[in-house]
Chains A and B, each alone.
Chain A
Amino acid sequence: MFKIIRRKKLNDSVVLMDIDAPFIAKKADAGQFVIVRADEFSERIPLTIADFDRDKGTVTIIFQTIGGSTMTLAALNEGDAIRDVVGPLGVATEYEPNVKKVAVIGGGVGCAIAYPQAKKLNNMGVDVQLIAGFRNKDIIILEDEMRSASTELHICTDDGSYGYHGFVTDKLKELIDAGANFDEVIAIGPVPMMKFVCKVTEPYNIKTIVSLNPIMIDGTGMCGGCRVRVGGEIKYACVDGPDFDGHKVDFNELVRRNSTYSESEKQHVCRLMGGATNG
């Protein structure tokens, strides 16, 4: 059992939890994830390690309640325990040697995953241009944290209610065209966003790392449920990734495979909500 030391609501549907997990905290690095099972009846779901404190022995997860399992998890309070947390899993993000300037792009709750990347690069002395995209200003998360982990923070909103009016891809293109000269771009968020970021960077030949989010079960390489096609080859995101060269990823196959259980997922939410879905 893994005790929840702190629980904080970041917006209406996004929750942060610091979990007591000293073994994981000792080894965790940016880009890695944990598999969480909230209770005996829950699924195993992958969540990125958003932060860690080796001294206190805690790891931080940030997740959006989008379905049954995240709702069960979100219902736990400070002092409660999560049944199973296993990690750190996956390969930590590897940066190009001698990177000087990097654009780190987060979309929505993906900012929770972009944040540790920005923080690590920032600590390495890299110029970090952090581009964070949200639908509107009400769902902005981690603004202060992201600001302190970047050279410059560009918050974008789809409706223009805060910061830059437009998508992260628009902002990225502007920066590139203005001569930003990025050594690397790291994009983390919904699959369509990552796909379009790659479309923007491809003509400029800027190396682009994406953090993929396929369906996972064990997270240790024993089932292949998370297999993705990268450069024509089958890779297991849980052990070979989750980071891959975005210009080589078959995003269409990833989107399709992620829809495998969309029907049963809806029913699951129905059961938990007593018939009403949360949209």
Chain B
Amino acid sequence: MADMRLDKVPIAEQEPEVRAKNFKEVTLGYSLEKAVREAMRCLNCKNKPCMSGCPVGVRIPEFIAKVAEGDMEAAYEIIKTTNSLPAVCGRVCPQENQCEGKCVRGIKGEPVGIGRLERFVADYMRGKEPEVVLPEPNGHKVAIIGAGPSGLTAAGDLAKLGYEVTVFEAFHTAGGVLMYGIPEFRLPKTIVQHEIDNLTKMGVKIMTNMVIGKVLSVDELFEMGYEAVFVGSGAGLPRFMGIDGEGLIGVYSANEYLTRINLMKAYKKEYATPIMKSQKVAVVGGGNVAMDAARSALRIGAKKVYVVYRRSLDELPARKEEVHHAMEEGVEFLTLNNPVELLGDDNGRVRAMVCRKMELGEPDESGRRSPVAVEGSDYELDVDTIIMAIGTSPNPLIRNTTPGLDVNKRGCLIVDDTEATTKKGVYAGGDAVTGAATVILAMGAGKKAAAAIDAYIKNISEEE
């Protein structure tokens, strides 16, 4: 009989005033006892609406039933059949729009804490994972470009099928946004590394410091004997607003700010990469990246951090939990505000941001109400650092060096419903196709592409 309590079993968190000064994980996770109790809330529905909300199709009620029985090993096995990175997904997925958004228990009360449970199982099993049984090699080679969520998922799925998989990564560390973008306090890097190590144990080879499009082209990968290529190069090219003052000292893209902090560990004394010591910081944007940048700025010592967003709180695209956490930690939200100019001092350092007040107009084609400037509302916000988190677009490097690879107006690779690009044998997925989206959508695309690559290679081998 299910536990009919309306609310989720609460999860332990660091206190806001303590955690706003450290980079340790904010959410501490369930204990075994709490996990089992939360698992009992699942009704084990016949039609499993939760599963339809999961882009990688985790068999949710099945694994939760095992958690309720206290059999974590079995729960882990079930999750791993469809999800290569459960410790990551359980932490960073916007569950409210996905699995938990579809949960029947959410109609009256809170949905089952599916993310928390997935995370619990992965954390509980860390270091206790069953010995990897390597599949029989099938003699075929696949190249993956980019070691972010989509590439790693595709690599994991193909390795399970016996493919010899090589992942080419431009940075010195695999993980993509999981390593350089999402901060330690949301996603500890040792956990990401552990999930990546699990992939390499399955035989996935990762080559770092390899910028495809520069050191090797896609066509050269085919010449080297790879029969298919998956492009999971993400959308890492930051946008700036194009307003005056963006060249001042103290103006960062969120990508630069977060890369210095997360990948280069600029907040740790023993690492050489510097970062500005700011007092008053404005982050422009309202997505997860903006939340991550704002909360990171607090943690490296800023006294005041503003999130400047041109729409209202209701339109914030960030994950609800992160907005809530940011507010608890003291980040101030200046919604319906839009920067129009950045002002500097005599040394070329930022001293203020000129903000213009906005109001919401009629809904546009996308259904969102567009912000309209309020005339004569300009004012100066005193800040010494500005972080632009207004989005990213795909890096042109691969499309510019690969003949036959078509892109749309926004520079995103064009694919069909099997994730096949316009070039034979080349598949793509994740932000490189969709523009900046979520980790789990990228993983879903990687999964779909892996299945399509498997079918493609089987098909050409049969023909031969």
Chain A interfacial positions (CB closer than 8 Å to B): 23-24, 27, 37, 41-44, 68-69, 72, 83-89, 217-218, 220-225, 227, 229, 234, 239, 250, 253, 256-257, 259-261, 264-265, 268
Contacts and interface: CB of A to CB of B under 8 A. Distances in A.
Interface in B233-278: 236-238, 240, 242, 246-247, 249-250, 252-253, 255-256, 259-260, 264, 270-277
8 contacts: A42-B272, A89-B214, A218-B171, A220-B395, A222-B238, A225-B252, A227-B247, A256-B347
B317 interface: no
B211 A220 contact: yes
Nearest to B255: A223
B397 A234 contact: no
B210 interface: yes
Contact of B209 (A86, A221, A222): A86
Contacts of A250: 247
B185 to A, nearest CB: 21
Q: By DSSP majority rule, is chain B's interface helix, strand, loop, or mixed?
A: loop
A88 B272 contact: no
Nearest to A259: B249
A199 B166 CA distance: 50
Q: By DSSP majority rule, is chain A's interface helix, strand, loop, or mixed?
A: mixed
Nearest to B172: A84
Contact of A217 (B240, B250, B260): B260
Best-buried of A72, A217, A220, A223 by chain B (most CB within 10 Å)? A223
B93 interface: no
Nearest to B271: A41
A86 B247 CA distance: 27
B215 A24 contact: yes
B240 A253 contact: no
How many B residues touch the partner, as a band?
Answer: 35 or more
Contacts of A83: 172
Interface in B185-215: 208-211, 214-215
A89 B211 contact: yes
B253 to A, nearest CB: 4
Nearest to A250: B247
A23 B395 CA distance: 22
A68 B259 contact: no
B211 A86 contact: yes
Given A27-B215, A43-B273, A257-B249, A222 B172 contact: no
A84 B209 contact: yes
Contacts of B246: 227, 234
B313 interface: no
Contacts of A89: 211, 214
Nearest to B252: A225
Given A85-B209, A227-B240, 18 more contacts: A23-B216, A43-B272, A69-B272, A217-B273, A218-B171, A220-B236, A221-B395, A222-B238, A223-B253, A223-B255, A224-B255, A224-B256, A234-B242, A239-B397, A253-B348, A257-B247, A259-B249, A261-B274
